[in-house]
Amino acid sequence: DGGITQSPKYLFRKEGQNVTLSCEQNLNHDAMYWYRQDPGQGLRLIYYSQIVNDFQKGDIAEGYSVSREKKESFPLTVTSAQKNPTAFYLCASRSWDSNQPQHFGDGTRLSIL
């Protein structure tokens, strides 16, 4: 069954610690995205990648980093520089064809200890 897998579902971070959220897709999609959702807000774009070994900052990239070493994988690292990391993080992918929807994983909820 094709889809997007995010892990872990829940993650706790201590002050000053970096944590990495995993996102894997087997849809053979070229483009992948990371979003952050806060209560009462829409999804805000953190980073996106169109092809392997290439990625661009979204609207709220500060305090985050990504890599795209494989087409299937787009991990997100929340660094200690991100001062307000508590949020619901969503990974999405889409094919490169025009007018195609993004497909989302089930998200990772990150909380601060």
Partner 1 sequence: DQQVKQNSPSLSVQEGRISILNCDYTNSMFDYFLWYKKYPAEGPTFLISISSIKDKNEDGRFTVFLNKSAKHLSLHIVPSQPGDSAVYFCAASAITSGTYKYIFGTGTRLKVLA
Binding-site ranges for partner 1 (CB under 8 A): 4, 6, 9, 31, 33, 35, 40-45, 48, 50, 56, 58, 90, 92, 94, 98-107, 109
Nearer to partner 1, 53 or 99 (CB): 99
Nearer to partner 1, 44 or 71 (CB): 44
* Least Å from the CB of residue 65 to partner 1: 19
Q: Is the dihedral of CA 15, 4, 59, 44 positive or negative?
A: negative
Q: Using a CB cutoff of 8 Å and minimum separation of 24, what contacts does 41-46 make? A: 43/90, 46/76, 46/89
Is the distance from CB of 23 to CB of 108 less than 8 angstroms?
no
**Distance of closest approach, residue 80 Cβ to partner 1, in angstroms:** 26
